[in-house]
Amino acid sequence: MSHTAHIRSHRKPRPRSASKLALRAGVAGGVLSTIAVAGSAGPANAEPVTETIEMPALTLESPALASAVALSAEATQQSALDAQLQTQENAAAAKAAKAAQKAKDEAVRKAEAEKKAEEAARAEAAARASRDSARTTLSAASQSSSSNVSGSVGTVISFLKAQLGDAYVMGASGPNAWDCSSLVQAAYKQVGVDLPRVSQDQSVAGTQVSLDNLQVGDILYWGGAGSAYHVGVYIGGGQYLDAANPSKGVVIQDLSGYPADGAVRVL
């Protein structure tokens, strides 16, 4: 027996491998509590090596984090205030623009109304001047022609010419506005002749006469006898006097421009 037979052999222990790391972490109350490192390539019965490291807690009590949170909140609030201010400014600008446009439209409307009023006033003044001029001219002519007409007919013609320039208004009966039949009725009333009020009846109120045999004072009518729609009075020289229409009023006109359909004689 060898002198070494009873001596147990000694093996050199294998070194533990650290090729694999496992991290075990637990967060309790904001503290990272434990980090464990274990060798995974060694024998299955190798004992793990554990080391515990205390980490600082991340809480709002940290000055840096509290400052960051405060700055973020302030920035958010400022952004909200800026947006609100911009909205108010936009609304105010829109309101001001609307008010300005309304004022402009009102000014334009007022200017147009004033312009129309001025134009109407000028037109009325021109028409009045024209009527006055015509009245003066016709008055002189009527005095000349009236000298050749005596008695009742002269009175009728004088009355008619005194109304020159008066307005035409349907249904009016004087003293400054007439329709065609009311003027004829009023003229003949001056000499005691009571004529019907409307042109249809006046067209058959006297003796029918030919248009080729007219005399001063004859009543002219347009339309059929008994259905006439307009009347006037013949004043001689191929002319007649009538309350023509709203645009002309009481005027003297030529028969050649608007020939009558018939005539009646009442004087």
Task: Read off the pLDDT of residues 40-56 as tens digits, 9 standing for 90 and up.
Answer: 444 555 555 555 555 55
Residue scoring higher pLDDT (190 or 120): 190
Task: Give the Å distances, CA to CA, from 218 to 25, 63, 82, 187.
Answer: 131, 120, 92, 12
∠ CA 63-69-74, nearest 5°, is 125
* Residue 206 forms part of a structural domain: yes
Q: How confident is the model at residue 263 (pLDDT cuts 50, 70, 90)?
A: very high
Last residue of a domain, one of 97, 117, 138: 138
Q: Do 155 and 260 share a domain, yes or no?
A: yes
Residue 115 — φ and ψ, nearest 5°? -65, -45
β-pairing, 177-178 with 167-168? Answer: parallel
**Within-domain flag for 228:** yes
Q: Is the residue at 49 inside a domain?
A: yes
The residue type of 210 is S
Q: Which helix (H) or strand (E) holds 75?
A: helix 63-146
Pairwise pLDDT comparison (234 vs 57), residue with the higher score: 234
User: Do residues 261 and 186 share a domain?
Assistant: yes
Round to the nearest angstrom and report the end-to-end CA distance of the chain: 191
Residue 226 lies in a domain: yes
127 or 132: which leads in pLDDT: 127
Q: Is the pLDDT of residue 133 over 80?
A: no
Which residues face 221 on adjacent strands?
A: 231, 262
The reply to whether 158 and 232 lie within a common domain is yes
Residues 153 and 248 occupy one common structural domain:
yes
Any domain includes 259: yes
Instruction: Output the pLDDT for position 118.
Output: 87
| Cβ atoms of residues 230 and 221 within 8 Å | yes
For 197-229, what is each residue's pLDDT tens digit?
999 999 999 999 999 999 999 999 999 999 999
Q: What is the largest CA-CA distance in the chain?
A: 195
Residue 165 sits in the same domain as residue 221: yes
Domain boundary among 89, 111, 138: 138
Q: 87 with 194, same domain?
A: no
Domain that holds residue 241: 148-265
Is residue 14 one of the residues assigned to a domain?
Answer: no
For residue 63, tell me if it sits in a domain: no
At residue 238, the pLDDT reads 96
The pLDDT, as a whole number, for residue 242 is 98
Q: How many CB atoms lie within 10 A of CB 203?
A: 28
Least confident of 13-27, 42-56, 65-79, 248-262: 13-27
CB contact at 8 A, 142 and 158: yes
Q: Kindly state whether residues 155 and 218 are assigned to the same domain.
A: yes
Q: Which two tokens stand for residue 227?
A: 């259905």
- 73 with 101, same domain? yes
